[in-house]
Structure 1
């Protein structure tokens, strides 16, 4: 009964409503478009349920991203705080990922509430769910690298933390792949990424902190226009990076402030030249 064994009739990435892309899937509406491709809502005939289908672009980077996402989703299906994977198939050199259909993401929830702060109880529910999902992800050796309100969704079928689901694992990196700096959305980007330092799973912790602040206040914590602006805002709150961090970082030359001589409480554990080194930001 695998979706993969059935023929796919869709011929282009831009889908017309009610156009069948699969003998058991009928496209009803486009849910979103992005750099990766497109997400559509489909009716699955036979099972009489609606599902979401993520359609990746055919270029190699997007294929790799989709393959990584499938691996992670399969590996984390025991965790109820992670998007439920149903199946995947390929057509026209495009990978399709079929998952449960969710209600809305947390950015949409904030927008619907006119960016009024969420209750502390609701923020705690989000924290419990996201931290559980990310801990499971880290346990299999991956970092999410794109935690933000748009990538946390509500099932809309229950109360509490069980209603909150982590999605979009297309940007994941293995823990050892910690010197690629095209990761994380700007407002949720950790300072070690901006500085060009080897990073750890703690970059996800940074993003979660930014996320929870935004949910409880209705406003983003570091809404920079670019990395220089974001880093200036971060420095205004937590202080300047240390001289060690500024010396090791490959991107620090873009910042025009002097390094701190004080020992800051934020310490990044890296693995530079094979040694367990502490780099104080």
Structure 2
């Protein structure tokens, strides 16, 4: 199992840059004043309540300020928020969905990955390590009707736990692909099975986790983004049975509905099937 991690400063800076370029950082510019007052006011009150409850000292307060400053300097706010808060936001936003379950986005998404028709082989290095995995399925609406204009994006870490565009020495679009479904809503993507990995541990987020005697491990997973006109986007992370970190994922993002069931393909690889149902927008 990989115990190395990319430099936190490099990874954090990349995550921050990608987030800014995505346009999501300005998506809340039109939040009504009353809503902003409620959210910000309650956040400040919650911090004040914590300080009161634990009789926070000035020494502890200054340590907190220093740590918050360092999170920003490391560029790790996307990482920190995605690891510790996003699972709660995702649960709130999707609780009324009738279709397939979603999961957190995470900080390592990059838009505009290469479009390859199904059956597709994800871009990878000639000597890419890992067990071959064929990922197949169907995309439909909640009534079972095929969504023939849907696309599925897949991105993942390599067997060393690194993501392209967030760690040095990896081809730009390695293990990233967008696949349109066929005329019946089906897709097939050949890739490799990823490995568990640690989020960057040498930056402020990793140091905070160490301070509370926690661990920084995420279970192996595939990142998925399914889109179809007139339907809600579905963001997922799909997991693998038997991973020792399924039960103690640092991001608290594992759900039973997101567990794959890979089966041997008789040729040294595995096949995993996952079918989707999307809610209307």
Per the shorter chain, which TM-score range? under 0.3
**TM-score, with structure 1 as normaliser:** 0.26
What is the TM-score with the length of structure 2 in the denominator? Answer: 0.26
Which of the pair has the greater relative contact order for Cα pairs under 8 Å at 6+ separation?
Answer: 2
